[in-house]
A and B are shown apart, each in its own frame.
Chain A
């Protein structure tokens, strides 16, 4: 198993541009989520999904969209990038609630 994969590893955007961060897992996990990590803030939940077709907002959802058309993929879309979205983004998955969560390697995003 490849586990949780994320692309790209690093991205530079200009303010106002849009982009999609890709996340995929091959473990048949129902539960997937996106976090952002900022210095001194720990990890904060952006959006999550409990299965294909089901998504919901986390702690910091503004400026981000998600969809879950398949069990494997959970892309995160930035609609109009802002400097405040400069961060490291982690995707995670687990089989279900109350189970071990696994993280992808992260995407480092810089918005100028």
Chain B
């Protein structure tokens, strides 16, 4: 099956710093999403981005499907950005199931 690797597994930042989270995958995908799981466990959609670039405030994401990776950029980080960031993929030819990476745990210190 498809392999999904997220890096780094853990990241500690000072408030105001920028960061880049990476998601590598081993097969072509029809769907790629980024989620944020906050410290209370809630999973929040950030981006639906099977290809191209999107921006939403301080967050942006880029997926290069031909090279099989996606990047999530967080600028001017805030303590509320803390939590775990997951990428999830839907593989071409599958039943449409989303396969999740193991996540990047981000801690933003004040």
- Residues on A lying within 8 angstroms of B by beta carbon are 31, 33, 35, 40-45, 48, 50, 56, 58, 88, 90, 92, 96-103, 105-106
- Determine if B56 is an interface residue (Cβ-Cβ < 8 Å): no
* B33 x A101 contact (CB < 8 A): yes
Contacts of B7 in A (CB 8 A): none
- Determine if B83 is an interface residue (Cβ-Cβ < 8 Å): no
How many contacts between A and B, using CB within 8 angstroms? 56
* A100 x B86 contact (CB < 8 A): no
Task: Name the one of B30, B86, B95, B100 contacting A98, with C-beta atoms under 8 angstroms.
Answer: B30
| B contact face: mostly helix, strand, loop, or mixed | strand
- Residues on B lying within 8 angstroms of A by beta carbon are 30-31, 33, 35, 41-43, 45, 48, 50, 86, 88, 90, 95-103
Task: Name the one of B30, B48, B96, B100 contacting A43, with C-beta atoms under 8 angstroms.
Answer: B100
Known: A98-B30, A100-B33. A43 touches B86 (CB 8 A): yes
Known: A40-B102, A42-B102. A103 touches B43 (CB 8 A): yes
In angstroms, Cα B86 to Cα A44, docked, is 12
Contacts of A96 in B (CB 8 A): 96
